[in-house]
Chains A and B, each alone.
Chain A
């Protein structure tokens, strides 16, 4: 493909670049800043619970968990998941550019404006939003949440979500309509497939959140929009139609990353590719029809239907796990940091997934709803699962993005600290939740006997913070004292490794022949055959 570049000034190249790689880099930087800010809020919350409720007031605690959850979902994990796709999908399908580069740039600035809007709530006299990351009506209406903090939260979430929809449209369009010659649908890499289903869910699921927030805003200003109990149920139905698929948006891309990492470091072709693709599509469809399991205790929607679909999720999930394990089977395993994080994902996400089966059952959910059991479950899926998948992807693709290798020894220290911190922080929550410790409470009576485990969890969160510092130190050291990576330091299988590190503006000077979903492995095998 021919490509002609229009030159730009250095300043606009930094802030206004329409290169998908730069946009993705900027998005990750923005997300990292919000991640660190959100981590500080989490440490404050843990300090509050460890210090027997003596650090902040109830109102401040409400603001802390609202902004922590909102930041992590709307400004960190979803944007990072999509940003990785923004960077690598064009490379993996052999495209010179993302489809709609200006639209992708618009998405980045919407995310930034959304984040600034949400966080500027802290500067208002009434404080930031305090109605949790879902902003349920009537808690979030103008009577119970007066002041501009809630308004800024609504506009911020709308802007960030709009940006994510724009990104998803660009990625989807690139994967489906900008593929290189020879790159058929069933030759797209595993990661690209996970991005395709992710983006389909974003494009067709996320508008429900925009509608819900639009109604909430209208309710706050005009009243009589979300009327009574029925209005509250309608808001929640719309919200959870976004709110459950978003969990999979925060999960599928990392499944794809783990799939790439496992195949590369097992030196094997990904096992059961076709079954994996079918399972992904089935999984994504099912995940759009399980949302009301968050509303079991309302008792107004069909619990039996949602229990059925929620439980059925284990079928495609099982296919994916089987493919992962079969890829490892008899492979020549290389225990790099990236591979360790991928294994960590497999084990820890399983804990999150299996406890999800418990919560999929209405009778059990009735007992555990709003308890720390639920908090533990979703932190095992989102943090112990997705964050580990993300780090597997970072250690894997960092050399491609920067041209420099991350330090393996520091990486392994990061991994060990993160495994310890994660499990010490989140596993006791299962016990506390089963004992009846409810969420979003700033102080618990001493008579409950929960203080010991809460202190343990706080210690675990400090270990997580330490592991993040080790990771940042690793990045700093690796970028300052560079060890050149070369084009393909891992002996990988997909097209992004067929170009330079970092890739040029137009991604490829030339493309290798594409005859399967692992074109570089095909090339190596062909060379070995000729050598024989």
Chain B
């Protein structure tokens, strides 16, 4: 096991302790809630990573390295346009969603190509 989760668990618990110390100082709800949510999220992610480590063990198999991904760029540009569209009107949101859909399709296509390449190389 790689003990990756240890870092997240220790740090999440440390933040929880520091948050808990606030109780002595009669905190406002918001000053208590924000770090409490952050520490809980950190511990939760730590537990998920721990579970993954136990299930997968230290597998260091061959990896396929993808050189580039134009589809990812389309996806991000689509997200950006759609987000900015929230301030400028539905028409821009729709354009953004369209670009996003193209990008998403491209990413799926790249993933399928990757799977085929892995099979070709006898790695899967």
List A residues at the B interface (Cβ < 8 Å): 1-9, 12-13, 15-19, 96-97, 101-102, 105-106, 109-110, 113-114, 117, 148, 151-152, 154-155, 158-159, 176-177, 179, 181, 184-185, 196-197, 200, 203-205, 208, 217, 233-234, 237-238, 241, 281-282, 284-286, 288-289, 292, 300-302, 304-305, 309, 505-506
Could you tell me the distance between the alpha carbons of A4 and B64 in the complex, rounded to whole angstroms? 5
| 7 A-B contacts (beta carbon < 8 Å) | A3-B64, A97-B63, A106-B76, A117-B80, A159-B83, A233-B30, A238-B30
* Contact B73 A301, beta carbon cutoff 8 Å: no
A-B contact count (CB 8 A): 185
Could you tell me the distance between the alpha carbons of A179 and B10 in the complex, rounded to whole angstroms? 20
* Contact A6 B30, beta carbon cutoff 8 Å: no
Find chain A residues with CB under 8 A from B75 CB. Answer: 106
* Contact B83 A158, beta carbon cutoff 8 Å: yes
How many chain B residues touch the partner (CB < 8 A)? Answer: 60
Find chain A residues with CB under 8 A from B19 CB. Answer: 289
* Contact A151 B87, beta carbon cutoff 8 Å: yes
Chain B proximity of A494: nearest CB distance (Å): 19
Chain A proximity of B14: nearest CB distance (Å): 4
* Contact A6 B77, beta carbon cutoff 8 Å: no
Could you tell me the distance between the alpha carbons of A250 and B76 in the complex, rounded to whole angstroms? 25
Interface string of B1-41 (1 = CB under 8 A from A): 01110111011001100110110111110110011001101
Residue from the list B67, B73, B84 in contact with A109, Cβ < 8 A: B73
- Known contacts A96-B63, A102-B107; decide if A185 and B87 are in contact (CB<8 Å): no
- Known contacts A3-B65, A4-B65, A97-B65; decide if A285 and B76 are in contact (CB<8 Å): no
Could you tell me the distance between the alpha carbons of A253 and B67 in the complex, rounded to whole angstroms? 27
Q: Which of B37-84 contact A (CB under 8 A)?
A: 38-39, 41-42, 45, 49, 53, 58, 60-70, 72-73, 75-77, 79-80, 83-84
* Contact B69 A18, beta carbon cutoff 8 Å: yes
Find chain B residues with CB under 8 A from A151 CB. Answer: 84, 87-88
* Contact A19 B27, beta carbon cutoff 8 Å: no
Chain A proximity of B120: nearest CB distance (Å): 9
Closest 5 A/B residue pairs (Cβ): A176-B4, A2-B62, A8-B67, A113-B80, A302-B25
* Contact A285 B3, beta carbon cutoff 8 Å: no
- Known contacts A102-B66, A289-B18, A305-B22; decide if A152 and B87 are in contact (CB<8 Å): yes
Find chain A residues with CB under 8 A from B3 CB. Answer: 184-185
Chain B proximity of A514: nearest CB distance (Å): 14
* Contact B73 A16, beta carbon cutoff 8 Å: yes
Chain B proximity of A111: nearest CB distance (Å): 10
Residue from the list B25, B35, B77 in contact with A241, Cβ < 8 A: B35
Most buried by A among B6, B30, B49: B30
- Known contacts A4-B64, A159-B83, A205-B38; decide if A177 and B117 are in contact (CB<8 Å): no
Residue from the list B15, B30, B67 in contact with A5, Cβ < 8 A: B67
Find chain B residues with CB under 8 A from A113 CB. Answer: 76-77, 80
* Contact A196 B7, beta carbon cutoff 8 Å: yes
Report if B109 contacts A (CB, 8 A): no
* Contact B34 A237, beta carbon cutoff 8 Å: yes
* Contact A6 B73, beta carbon cutoff 8 Å: no
The residue in chain B whose Cβ has the minimal distance to the Cβ of A505 is: B65
Find chain A residues with CB under 8 A from B2 CB. Answer: 176-177, 179, 185
Report if B112 contacts A (CB, 8 A): no
- Known contacts A18-B66, A305-B27; decide if A4 and B123 are in contact (CB<8 Å): yes
Report if B90 contacts A (CB, 8 A): no
* Contact A5 B18, beta carbon cutoff 8 Å: no
* Contact A15 B34, beta carbon cutoff 8 Å: no
Could you tell me the distance between the alpha carbons of A208 and B114 in the complex, rounded to whole angstroms? 36
Residue from the list A148, A233, A305 in contact with B21, Cβ < 8 A: A305
Could you tell me the distance between the alpha carbons of A322 and B35 in the complex, rounded to whole angstroms? 30
Chain A proximity of B87: nearest CB distance (Å): 4
Find chain A residues with CB under 8 A from B39 CB. Answer: 204
The residue in chain A whose Cβ has the minimal distance to the Cβ of B64 is: A4
Most buried by A among B38, B86, B121: B38
* Contact B4 A6, beta carbon cutoff 8 Å: no
- Known contacts A4-B121, A237-B30, A288-B35; decide if A101 and B73 are in contact (CB<8 Å): no
Residue from the list B28, B30, B38, B62 in contact with A204, Cβ < 8 A: B38
